[in-house]
Chains A and B, each alone.
Chain A
Amino acid sequence: MKLRQVLQIIEGKVISRHVDLDSEVTSGGGADLMSDVLAFAQDGMLLMTGLTNPQVVRTAEMAGTAAIVFVRGKIPPPETIALAEQKGIPLLASKYTMFETCGRLYQAGLPAHGLFELTIRHWHEAFEGRE
């Protein structure tokens, strides 16, 4: 899905400079916990988050995230925008909640990428007996 389509679907705005709206995102994921993002993000993912500090951009850089959408109408501070421009990571904003922003994109066909591997073992242990 192109960033141009993402913007239409979430009725969003672009908040960093030099964004190529024809660039592609291949999946989506939402979290306010950066360690979780580091654990589940994949190259080309669109990250939805309510956190606006520069570490979000660092996290995106390390995890190979293609672009970031700030949800709930949050606008990041200048240092976050500056770091994103330096790293070439597009920043978008959505006035909708995390749930609705993700929901709109998921409904429009932007895929998730499977289960959270880091904790899935504990899930199995707790609910499906030992394996």
Chain B
Amino acid sequence: MDSPTDRKEITKLQELTYELKVGDAMTRNVLTVSPDATMADFREILRANRISGTPVVEDGKMIGIVTIEDLIKALAAGELQATVRERMHPKPVTLYADEPLVHAVSRFSELKYGRFPVIDRNGSLVGIITQGDIVRAMLKRLEISYREEEIHRYRASHIFEDIIADEMALVLGYRVKPRDFSHAGEASSGLKRTLSRLGIHPAIIRRVAVATYEAEINIVVYSNDGGEIVAEVRRDRIKIEAMDRGPGIPDIELAMQPGWSTAPDWVRELGFGAGMGLPNIKSCADMMKLESTVGVGTHLTIIIYLSRNDRERSAK
């Protein structure tokens, strides 16, 4: 049985063979041989360039392929003066440069050839590919994705330790578009990811994410022309402000009651607008302030402390 990690790696390799094209892996500067060269000349080309076969080209057109096997046969028969034309394989099997690499992989396993000439859609020879080329291309791509993953895993948590100051704050701003439900949540998602890179405790991140997401949904649903979410991260707490130039809330106390909602049907159909948003935000926050002026807009501020100590210290 292979482990789940193995399986994941295999899937990744398989994906790569679809992602990469033959043209990405092939060798571009193809050495060719003329059909009128002798097999002795061909031997010299192989030896000097440490290769094992070349396409045969006449008047700029590929007419065949000749390989080390053909050379060995010629050697055994003592026919090194025979021409390449006599010994080559005419009409070689080719691959297109824009085919996925997986086609090359299956061709190699099916035909057991050592190499395939690569042509473009006009039929011109543009490269040659061996199994070694495929392995190299895959390794190179794996290395790149590995590095990307390393960068992805990079934690910015040390910036809090590296910065020397009595006070410091990291301010993150996100814009929220009105009535754009397909992108609703992107601000919260971005904030959540950033906080986890900063090394904030997952339980804290969860409260921030839920509260911010509800606030973001409110801006999407109710504001006239969108709004913004600003998160201020300090050593001891995260402050989130959600501001919009919306219609405003006439009765905040009423709006805070679970189940109270003025949401239109289309919002309810999406699973929101049942009057749980603001109570939800409140339950996630250590401090919540909601200011609203009808006709002007709404300004929500919440604070979530990073530890119980910080919360208690601030209460004093």
Q: Which residues of A does B touch, CB under 8 Å?
A: 18, 20, 22, 32-36, 38-39, 43, 49, 51, 53-56, 58-59, 61-64, 79, 117-119, 122
Instruction: Tell me whether B258 is interfacial, beta carbon within 8 Å.
Output: yes
Contact between A43 and B4, CB atoms less than 8 A apart = no
What is the number of contacts between chain A and chain B, taking CB atoms within 8 Å? Answer: 83
B10 CB, nearest partner CB in chain A, Å: 12
Complex: how many Å from CA A51 to CA B217?
16
Contact between B276 and A33, CB atoms less than 8 A apart = yes
Contact between A118 and B210, CB atoms less than 8 A apart = no
Majority secondary structure of chain B interface residues (helix, strand, loop or mixed)? helix
In B207-225, which residues have CB < 8 Å from any A CB? 209-210, 213-214, 217
What A residues does B276 contact at CB under 8 A? 33, 35-36, 38-39, 118
Query: Can you list 13 A-B pairs, Cβ within 8 angstroms, ordered by A?
Result: A20-B4, A34-B271, A36-B274, A51-B271, A53-B181, A54-B182, A59-B213, A61-B185, A61-B189, A62-B185, A62-B188, A62-B206, A62-B209
Contact with A along B120-162 (1 / 0, CB 8 A): 0000000000000000000000000000000000000000000
What B residues does A62 contact at CB under 8 A? 185, 188-189, 192, 206, 209-210, 213
User: Which of B63-71, B102-110, B277-285, B308-316 has 4 or more CB atoms under 8 Å from chain A?
Assistant: B277-285
Instruction: Tell me whether B202 is interfacial, beta carbon within 8 Å.
Output: yes
In B11-58, which residues have CB < 8 Å from any A CB? 11
Complex: how many Å from CA A38 to CA B217?
12
Q: A55-B185, A58-B184, A62-B213 given. 6 additional CB < 8 A pairs? A: A36-B276, A38-B280, A39-B280, A58-B213, A61-B189, A62-B206
Contact pick for A118, options B182, B184, B209, B283, CB 8 Å: B283
Knowing A55-B271, A62-B185, say if A38 contacts B192 (CB, 8 Å): no
Complex: how many Å from CA A36 to CA B258?
11
Complex: how many Å from CA A79 to CA B182?
9
Residue of B nearest to A49 (CB): B271
What A residues does B181 contact at CB under 8 A? 53, 55
Contact between B274 and A53, CB atoms less than 8 A apart = no
Contact with A along B255-284 (1 / 0, CB 8 A): 000100000000000111010110110010
Complex: how many Å from CA A29 to CA B40?
77
Contact with A along B188-200 (1 / 0, CB 8 A): 1100100000000
